[in-house]
Structure formats: structure tokens, C-alpha cells
Amino acid sequence: MKAILKKSSAAEPFSFSFINEQGKMVLRSENYKAKDSANKGINSVKKNCTEDRRYVLKESSNGMYFFNIKSANGQVVATSAMFPSEQDRSEAINYVKRDAPGCEVEEQLGG
């Protein structure tokens, strides 16, 4: 797993995603105005992802499953990809718990 810090041309240009070894997005953030804020979000995911109580399990209106990870103050710091079953979602959570805390961060900030 790897965390990717990205910059776009949006008004709030910084965001991050956690991707698996196949390059598929597992978690993504909202957009941030400052790079430092996005880095704090990455660190919050790494810190909080090992605690079951930080996960909020959800089902979308189209029957797909996903989860949010919340920080200690209750703010959502990342939202998962959509999964076709609750089992797939559970496997993704276990993967995040295992691999996210120590993953490297790669910056893709453009020129």
C-alpha cells in the first residue's frame, strides 16, 4: 500500500489516496487548501486505521458497500472505494489496518 499526495488545479488543490499494490484506490480524501493539511489527513488515517471504532460502515443507494475512517474528533478523514459485498469491504478494512500505518507517502504535485 502507498499513500499518494496529489495537487490539482481545483480551488482546494491537495488531496490524497491510499492505493494497493495493483494501483487501485482503496481510500481517498476530500480536497484541502494546504499541502500541510493533506499531510495531516494522511497521518490521521495512519494513526486511526488500526482502531475498529474509527470505522463507519456504509451502504450506498445502489447496494454497494464502503466505509469511512474518522479521526479522534469524529471528522471523516477518508472514504473507501465501493465494494460489491460486505465481505469485500471487510477484507479491505483488514488490508488497511495491516498496511496503511507504515506505508510510504509519494508526492505527485506536478510542476
pLDDT at 33: 96
Q: What is the pLDDT of residues 43-52, one digit of tens each?
A: 999 999 999 9
Is the pLDDT assigned to residue 109 strictly greater than 90? no
Exposed/middle/buried for 18, CB within 10 Å: 0-12, 13-18, 19+? buried
Angle at 13 between CA 97 and CA 93, to 5 degrees: 15
Is the pLDDT assigned to residue 111 strictly greater than 90? no
pLDDT classification of 76: cutoffs 50, 70, 90: very high
- Where are any strands of DSSP class E within 14-103? 14-19, 25-28, 55-59, 65-70, 76-80
Strand, helix or coil for residue 46: helix
Q: How far apart are CA 67 and CA 79, in angstroms?
A: 6
The CATH architecture assigned to 2-108 reads: Roll (2.30)
Domain ranges within the chain, ordered by starting residue: 2-108
Q: Are 106 and 2 in contact (CB under 8 A)?
A: yes
